[in-house]
């Protein structure tokens, strides 16, 4: 593999965002993943989302662990800082990075192996702290990079290429996140960019922990018949329960939405998420209802997608701790201690 | 014969009975009389019920190490009578609670056993079980004060300071003290021939433990992110940092914090947080102990290769495995020096006492940012949790923190192209940029193979180029790290090397040996990699004793490995039973070695 800088050719007439940048400006180096890998489609959706949001590239921090999925931050927004950490530990690095600088926008990209096995502890604790980040799991049911072993998200009955079936309960990141109290929980499919881009935009602008679990098939090790994470299986069984539009702060809500089926939710950045319920009875603001619905449908073999739960009222990590608004990393050091005389006073207690 | 200001008091109590404040009172009162004093805790890995001891060494000469003898034992715990009795030096004294008939265990002809009915007094005078237990502890302070001639006025003023807002507490505490004091005066000849006397040995000194000093140092260094997972004996470091930040890092108007302490889910997460924060430009640190270092290893190697500053305090305790969590050792040298897989080696700092914990906290942040690498401060339980007398900490107003080679937005703007891992200056240290500063500063941080331009690589030459450059940085580190403390006289042919908490015992031992006509030169190492001064010191001697507190001579191994010291010269003197090292150990070993024919 090598590091190839892609030429950034722009065409007149291509759309620009509010910063005057083209989608091309949000690209990264050329992917070295297998042709057809779901992860590359997720990369494309991320590029589209940050382009549409008009994110300043250098204000975005791309965090990841280890795996095919975790390599992808190299393939989008070259002008952003990236931190490709160690296996399963992206959440802690992001937590610390965020602690130091709360002004950056954090996107963590990880795999089902990275987040549900070796890193499951860090995954759940990042939720518990409500770290302000967009947490993308590129979920393919296998360890792609180590050549196709089952991951903890493999469904019961799902088969390997050789035909062995998994018989252990899967860990579902979405229901895990609901039970832990994550504040933005979505599921998408790498093959449905139209649905995925707004889910990512909502997740990136949400204040607090936003999980986007994305079924992202591994064409090399888990796209055969009998796999429940293949393109074919996902296409056949997936259901949008909601669709969302993300309306930025500067724009008005123009489209008319039918009463009862839509729900506008104000975001902290001033934007709005307009949520269209495909199933009228679905209530994405109730943890209990979301959990029940999800369990029922997944027992029926369906893969439920969309924005599944949202709570904009909860405080994120810095608010919970009562930290100053200025990024801690930008505070001048000489203002962080009380100086010579006070050091004398402090020591009176040591006499 | 009367001995003045050279007495060791040991107090045996039960964990969780509040004896710590009584012991602190005693130690402080002696200190306030101007007499140098140290306090050591010997405590169990337990919250309540097991035996615990506090040892106060009144040390007019100012030596800080454990004395390895007990002159006056305060045996308040019947469970440990036998052991406590056996420890007293011939000619010494033992006080016990004589409310109950004297135990048949408490018999020794060569010491004086003094019974004082502490429980009976306290049951008569105080209400409630808890108060009675607490007051019983305070009462022995009174008895010891009478026996050793400690100034009661000083004790009174200490109580007044402690209970400034609870005046009734002063009265009841004083009452308990008087009970012990008066009883001792009425029933024994006070003071004992071994006693204290006011002197002028504590001016400009404080008594502090290393963890408090390190926590204070982190606050003064401007650390803003601290991540940790509780582990003895490092926990009180973060407690101290939190207390100091609570006092000095809260905006008086908004109540908002300029610090962020995260109690992580484990040490893997703690170090991950430290790296994330440091990558973003914050001074961040984690305190831990040996088991934590084991868990952090993967990330420590990452930080070495991706060149991220990180400050780690390892307050060492006895290993292997869980070992003895409340006992001291210097047993993590090798696991810290070479933490993580692959070719890694790390900068270590060795504070010898709490004052150095304070100053080295600053050095650690400076070095981590200058060298863009993890820096580990290797303290230990003896330094971290015991009460040492050290010179008052001084803040140098001219101190300028070393933030290392961090490019500003203006510098980046002017650059044609920024490459993260390029050795522009030839010192092996590249320039770094912080996220969010400038689009031109963006780079991809990775633990996988990378070229000097920061790109992913699997190319042999490009890979090797970077890890070879890290060796250049290593040599830079060797030059700029704190120098060893050396005492050298041409007359002496034999040298002695130690580090960290070995210092106090060795300094005392060298004085003792000198008074017997045996002169040794001394080198107390402050950092790894070792500077040329250490190499020279070894070269200057035919025999060099290496005194350390672990079984496997880890410092000696590092000396052989890092500076190719002649191993035939390096004679290991190893103390590793979990107790702090003492000067007698060093003296005896040196004498035994020289008797074997090694020159001294
Ligand atoms: C500590 C450690 N153990 C094992 C590995 C090997 N390893 C690399 S990637 C991976 C699994 C990745 O699976 P997943 O996160 O699902 O990513 P995918 O490749 O499927 O996208 C493993 C086990 C490693 N890099 N580090
Ligand atoms: S192995 Fe699977 S997950 Fe990895 S790049 Fe190939 S298709 Fe994608
Ligand atoms: Mg996977």
DSSP A153-164: TPPTT-B-TT-P
The gap from C-alpha A42 to its chain's centroid, in whole angstroms, comes to 10
B225–A96: do the CB atoms touch at under 8 Å?
yes
C-alpha to C-alpha distance for B94 and B106, rounded to whole angstroms: 9
Is A174 touching ligand 1 by the criterion CB < 6 Å?
no
Q: Are residues B443 and B360 in the same domain?
A: no
Looking at B480, B505, B525, the residue that finishes a domain is: B480
A89–B270: do the CB atoms touch at under 8 Å?
no
Least CB–CB distance from A57: residue in B28, B302, B439: B439
For tokens 């070495």, the residue is B304
Q: Are residues B387 and B437 in the same domain?
A: no
CA angle A247, A249, A251 (to 5 degrees): 60
pLDDT above 70: residue A260: no
Tell me, yes or no, whether B396 lies in a domain: no
Q: Are residues B418 and B537 in the same domain?
A: no
> How is chain A split into domains, by residue range?
23-321
Whether B1 and B193 have beta carbons less than 8 Å apart is answered as: yes
* pLDDT digit string, tens, across residues A271-298: 999 988 888 888 899 999 999 999 999 9
Size of interface A-B (CB pairs under 8 A): 229
Name the domain count of chain B: 4
Tell me, yes or no, whether B404 lies in a domain: no
Tell me, yes or no, whether B507 lies in a domain: yes
Q: How far is CA B343 from CA A29, B173, B304, B372, B475, in A?
A: 29, 59, 10, 17, 15
Q: How many whole angstroms from A89 Cα to the centroid of ligand 3?
A: 15
Q: Are residues B364 and B233 in the same domain?
A: yes
> Residue B45: exposed, middle, or buried by beta-carbon count in 10 A (0-12, 13-18, 19+)?
middle
Burial per residue of B270-281, b for 16 or more beta-carbon CB atoms within 10 angstroms, e otherwise: bbbbbbbbbbbb
Locate the chain A residue with the closest alpha carbon to B308: A83
For chain A, say whether B206 makes contact (Cβ under 8 Å): yes
Chain B residues within 8 A of A327 when measuring between CB atoms: 280, 436
C-alpha to C-alpha distance for A29 and A89, rounded to whole angstroms: 24
> If you take atom 22 of ligand 1, which residue's CA is the nearest one?
A146
Query: Which phi-psi region, left, alpha or beta, contains residue A282 (left: φ > 0; alpha: ψ -120 to 50)?
Result: beta
The dihedral formed by the CA atoms of B264, B269, B270 and B276, expressed in degrees to the nearest 10 = -120
Q: Are residues B439 and B338 in the same domain?
A: no
B447–A89: do the CB atoms touch at under 8 Å?
no
Q: Minimal CA–CA distance to B366: which of B379, B375, B353, B358? A: B375
For tokens 């102990």, the residue is B289
Q: How many CA atoms lie within 13 A of B76 on its CB side?
A: 32
C-alpha to C-alpha distance for B458 and B450, rounded to whole angstroms: 8
Tokens of B75: 């045996």
Locate the chain A residue with the closest alpha carbon to B279: A97
The helix (H) or strand (E) run that includes residue B14 is strand B6-14
Q: Are residues B346 and B476 in the same domain?
A: no
Burial per residue of A30-39, b for 16 or more beta-carbon CB atoms within 10 angstroms, e otherwise: ebebbeebbb
8-state DSSP, A116: I
Mutate to test the pocket of ligand 2, among A1, A30, A35, A37 (most ligand atoms within 8 A of CB): A37
Write down the pLDDT at residue A261: 77
Q: Are residues B115 and B61 in the same domain?
A: yes
pLDDT above 60: residue A23: yes
Pocket of ligand 2 (CB under 6 A): A 33-34, 37, 39, 68, 140, 144-145, 218-221
Whether B421 and B466 have beta carbons less than 8 Å apart is answered as: yes
- Asked: is A23-321 a CATH 3.40.50.970 domain? The reply is yes
CATH number assigned to the domain comprising residue B513:
3.40.50.920
Confidence band of A9 (pLDDT split at 50, 70, 90) = low
The gap from C-alpha A20 to its chain's centroid, in whole angstroms, comes to 25
Looking at B202, B229, B254, the residue that finishes a domain is: B202
Mutate to test the pocket of ligand 1, among A43, A118, A143 (most ligand atoms within 8 A of CB): A143
The gap from C-alpha B51 to its chain's centroid, in whole angstroms, comes to 23
Least CB–CB distance from B282: residue in A92, A325, A329: A329
Write down the pLDDT at residue A5: 43
Least CB–CB distance from B216: residue in A92, A333, A346: A346
Write down the pLDDT at residue A256: 67
Tokens of B53: 């001891």
What's the mean pLDDT in A143-148?
A: 96
**How confident is the prediction for chain A on average, in pLDDT?**
93
Q: Which residues contact B590 (CB under 8 A, 6 or more apart)?
A: B496, B509, B513, B518, B520, B545, B573, B600
CATH number assigned to the domain comprising residue B28:
3.40.920.10
Tell me, yes or no, whether B97 lies in a domain: yes
Where in the sequence is the domain holding B181, given as residue range(s)? 3-202
A269 phi, psi to nearest 5 deg: -80, 5
Write down the pLDDT at residue A4: 40
State the sign of the Cα–Cα–Cα–Cα dihedral B287, B290, B292, B297.
Answer: positive
In this structure, the strands spanning A133-139 and A142-143 are unpaired
CATH number assigned to the domain comprising residue B374:
3.40.50.970
pLDDT above 50: residue A187: yes
Q: Are residues B76 and B191 in the same domain?
A: yes
What's the mean pLDDT in A162-174?
A: 95
Whether A205 and A269 have beta carbons less than 8 Å apart is answered as: yes
Tell me, yes or no, whether B319 lies in a domain: yes
Write down the pLDDT at residue A7: 46
Q: Which residues contact A303 (CB under 8 A, 6 or more apart)?
A: A187, A189, A215, A234, A237, A238, A239
Locate the chain B residue with the closest alpha carbon to A84: B446
Chain B residues within 8 A of A121 when measuring between CB atoms: 265-266, 269
Q: How many whole angstroms from A70 Cα to the centroid of ligand 1?
A: 9
Q: Work out the minimum CA distance from A338 to partner chain B, whole angstroms.
A: 7
Residues in chain A: 351
Q: How many whole angstroms from B455 Cα to the centroid of ligand 2?
A: 21
Cβ count within 10 A of residue A137: 27
Tell me, yes or no, whether B397 lies in a domain: no
Write down the pLDDT at residue A255: 66
For chain B, say whether A67 makes contact (Cβ under 8 Å): no
Chain B residues within 8 A of A2 when measuring between CB atoms: 456-457
pLDDT above 50: residue A309: yes
Q: Are residues B147 and B256 in the same domain?
A: no
Write down the pLDDT at residue B103: 82
Tokens of A213: 């679990």
Q: Are residues B234 and B321 in the same domain?
A: yes
Q: How far is CA A185 from CA A211, A223, A273, A274, B539, in A?
A: 5, 26, 13, 15, 66
Burial per residue of B125-148, b for 16 or more beta-carbon CB atoms within 10 angstroms, e otherwise: ebeeeeebbbbbbbbbbbbbbbbb
A95–B255: do the CB atoms touch at under 8 Å?
no
> Residue B53: exposed, middle, or buried by beta-carbon count in 10 A (0-12, 13-18, 19+)?
buried
For tokens 């009162």, the residue is B29
Tell me, yes or no, whether B400 lies in a domain: no
Whether A318 and A274 have beta carbons less than 8 Å apart is answered as: no
CA angle A255, A256, A258 (to 5 degrees): 140
Q: Which residues contact B334 (CB under 8 A, 6 or more apart)?
A: B552, B554, B557, B558
For chain B, say whether A122 makes contact (Cβ under 8 Å): yes
* pLDDT digit string, tens, across residues A42-88: 999 999 999 999 999 999 999 999 999 999 999 999 999 999 999 99
State the sign of the Cα–Cα–Cα–Cα dihedral A182, A183, A184, A186.
Answer: positive
Whether B444 and A82 have beta carbons less than 8 Å apart is answered as: yes
CA angle A331, A337, A342 (to 5 degrees): 160
**Which atom belonging to ligand 1 lies closest to the Cα atom of A69?**
21
Q: Which residues contact B577 (CB under 8 A, 6 or more apart)?
A: none
pLDDT above 50: residue A174: yes
Write down the pLDDT at residue B599: 56
Q: How many whole angstroms from A111 Cα to the centroid of ligand 1?
A: 8
Cβ count within 10 A of residue B182: 14
Tokens of B159: 């109580």
Tokens of B253: 């108007």
Tokens of A333: 């050091």
* pLDDT digit string, tens, across residues B491-506: 999 999 999 999 999 9
Chain B residues within 8 A of A57 when measuring between CB atoms: 439, 442
Least CB–CB distance from B276: residue in A74, A92, A347: A92
C-alpha to C-alpha distance for B72 and B7, rounded to whole angstroms: 8
pLDDT above 60: residue A19: yes
Looking at B391, B417, B449, the residue that finishes a domain is: B391
Tell me, yes or no, whether B600 lies in a domain: no
Cβ count within 10 A of residue A13: 5
Q: Are residues B492 and B475 in the same domain?
A: no
For chain B, say whether A345 makes contact (Cβ under 8 Å): no
Whether B311 and B274 have beta carbons less than 8 Å apart is answered as: yes
The helix (H) or strand (E) run that includes residue B263 is strand B260-263
Whether B195 and B148 have beta carbons less than 8 Å apart is answered as: yes
The dihedral formed by the CA atoms of A256, A257, A258 and A263, expressed in degrees to the nearest 10 = -150
Whether A131 and A107 have beta carbons less than 8 Å apart is answered as: no
The gap from C-alpha A310 to its chain's centroid, in whole angstroms, comes to 14
Q: Work out the minimum CA distance from B232 to partner chain A, whole angstroms.
A: 22
Q: Are residues B325 and B422 in the same domain?
A: no
Residues in chain B: 600
Chain A residues within 8 A of B210 when measuring between CB atoms: none
Residues in chain B, pLDDT under 70: 598-600
Q: Work out the minimum CA distance from A100 to partner chain B, whole angstroms.
A: 5
């Amino acid at each position: 593999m090598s590091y190839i800088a892609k030429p950034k050719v722009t065409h007149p007439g291509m759309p620009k965002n509010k910063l005057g940048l083209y989608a091309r400006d949000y690209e990264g180096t050329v992917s070295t993943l297998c042709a057809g890998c779901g992860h590359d489609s997720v990369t494309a959706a991320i590029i589209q989302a940050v382009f549409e949001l008009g994110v300043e590239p250098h204000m975005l921090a791309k965090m990841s662990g280890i795996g095919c999925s975790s390599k992808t931050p190299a393939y989008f927004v070259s002008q952003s800082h990236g931190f490709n950490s160690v296996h399963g530990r992206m959440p802690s690095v992001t937590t610390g990075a965020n602690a130091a600088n709360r002004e950056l926008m954090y996107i963590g990209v990880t795999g089902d192996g990275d987040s549900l096995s070796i890193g499951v502890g860090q995954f759940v604790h990042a939720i518990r702290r409500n770290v302000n980040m967009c947490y993308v799991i590129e979920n393919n049911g296998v360890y792609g990079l180590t050549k196709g072993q089952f991951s903890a998200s493999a469904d019961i009955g799902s088969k390997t290429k050789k035909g062995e079936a998994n018989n252990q309960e899967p860990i579902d990141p979405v229901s895990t996140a609901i039970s832990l109290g994550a504040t933005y929980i979505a599921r998408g499919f790498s093959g449905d960019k139209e649905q995925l881009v707004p889910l990512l935009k909502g997740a990136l602008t949400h204040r607090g922990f936003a999980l986007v679990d994305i079924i992202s098939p591994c064409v090399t090790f888990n796209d055969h018949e009998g796999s429940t994470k293949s393109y074919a299986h996902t296409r056949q069984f997936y259901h949008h329960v909601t669709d969302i539009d993300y309306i930025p702060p500067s724009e008005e809500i123009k489209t008319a939405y039918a009463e009862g089926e839509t729900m506008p939710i104000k975001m902290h950045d001033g934007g709005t998420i307009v949520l269209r319920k495909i199933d009228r009875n679905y209530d994405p603001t109730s943890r209990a209802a979301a959990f029940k619905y999800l369990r029922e449908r997944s027992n029926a073999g369906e893969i439920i997608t969309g924005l599944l739960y949202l709570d904009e009222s909860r405080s994120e990590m810095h608010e919970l701790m009562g930290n100053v608004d200025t990024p801690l990393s930008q505070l001048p050091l000489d203002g962080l201690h009380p100086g010579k005389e006070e050091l004398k006073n402090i020591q009176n207690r040591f006499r | 014969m009367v001995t003045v200001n050279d007495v060791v008091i040991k107090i045996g109590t039960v964990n969780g009975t509040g004896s710590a404040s009584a012991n602190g009172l005693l130690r402080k009162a002696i200190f306030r009389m101007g007499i140098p004093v140290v306090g050591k805790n010997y405590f169990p890995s337990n919250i309540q019920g097991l035996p615990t001891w506090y040892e106060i060494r009144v040390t007019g000469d100012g030596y800080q190490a454990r004395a390895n003898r007990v002159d006056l034992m305060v045996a308040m715990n019947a469970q440990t009578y036998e052991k406590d009795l056996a420890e007293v030096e011939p000619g010494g004294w033992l006080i016990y609670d004589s409310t109950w008939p004297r135990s048949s265990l408490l018999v020794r002809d060569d010491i004086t056993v003094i019974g004082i009915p502490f429980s009976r007094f306290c049951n008569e005078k105080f209400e409630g079980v808890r108060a009675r237990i607490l007051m019983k502890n305070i009462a022995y302070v009174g008895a010891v004060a009478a026996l050793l001639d400690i100034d009661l006025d000083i004790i009174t003023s200490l109580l007044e300071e402690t209970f400034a807002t609870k005046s009734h507490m002063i009265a009841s505490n004083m009452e308990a003290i008087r009970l012990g004091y008066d009883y001792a005066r009425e029933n024994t000849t006070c003071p004992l021939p071994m006693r204290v006397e006011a002197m002028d040995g504590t001016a400009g000194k404080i008594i502090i433990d290393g963890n408090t000093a390190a926590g204070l140092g982190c606050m003064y260094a401007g650390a803003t992110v601290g991540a940790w997972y509780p582990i003895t004996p490092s926990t009180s470091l973060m407690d101290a940092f939190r207390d100091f930040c609570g006092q000095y890092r809260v905006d008086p108007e908004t109540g908002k914090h300029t610090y962020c302490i995260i109690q992580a889910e484990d040490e893997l997460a703690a170090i991950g947080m430290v790296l994330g924060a440091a990558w973003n430009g914050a001074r961040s640190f984690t305190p831990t102990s040996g088991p934590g270092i084991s868990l952090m290893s993967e990330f420590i190697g990452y930080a070495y290769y991706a060149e991220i500053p990180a400050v780690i305090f390892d307050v060492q305790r006895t290993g292997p495995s869980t070992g003895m969590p409340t006992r001291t050792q210097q047993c993590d040298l090798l696991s810290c020096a070479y933490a993580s897989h692959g070719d890694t080696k790390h900068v270590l700092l060795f504070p010898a006492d709490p004052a150095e914990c304070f100053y080295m906290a600053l050095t650690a942040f400076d070095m981590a940012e200058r060298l863009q690498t993890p820096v580990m401060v290797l303290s230990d339980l003896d330094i971290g949790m015991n009460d040492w007398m050290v010179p008052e900490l001084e803040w140098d107003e001219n101190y300028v923190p070393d933030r290392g080679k961090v490019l500003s937005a203006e510098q980046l703007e002017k650059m044609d192209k920024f490459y993260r891992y390029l050795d522009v200056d030839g010192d092996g240290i590249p320039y770094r940029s912080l996220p969010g500063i400038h689009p031109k500063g963006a780079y991809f941080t990775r633990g996988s193979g990378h070229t000097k331009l920061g790109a992913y690589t699997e190319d042999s030459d490009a890979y090797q180029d970077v890890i070879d450059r890290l060796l250049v940085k290593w040599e830079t580190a060797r030059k700029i790290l704190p120098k060893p403390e050396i005492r050298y006289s041409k007359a002496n042919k034999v040298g002695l090397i130690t580090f960290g908490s070995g210092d106090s015992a060795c300094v005392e031992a060298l004085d003792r040996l000198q008074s017997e006509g045996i002169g040794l030169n001394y080198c107390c190492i402050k950092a790894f990699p070792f500077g040329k001064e250490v190499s020279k010191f070894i070269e200057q001697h035919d025999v060099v004793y290496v005194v350390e507190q672990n079984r496997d001579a880890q410092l000696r191994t590092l000396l052989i490995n890092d500076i190719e010291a002649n191993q035939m010269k390096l004679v290991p003197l190893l103390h590793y039973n979990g107790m702090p090292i003492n000067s007698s150990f060093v003296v005896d070993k040196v004498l035994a070695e020289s008797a074997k024919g090694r020159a001294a």
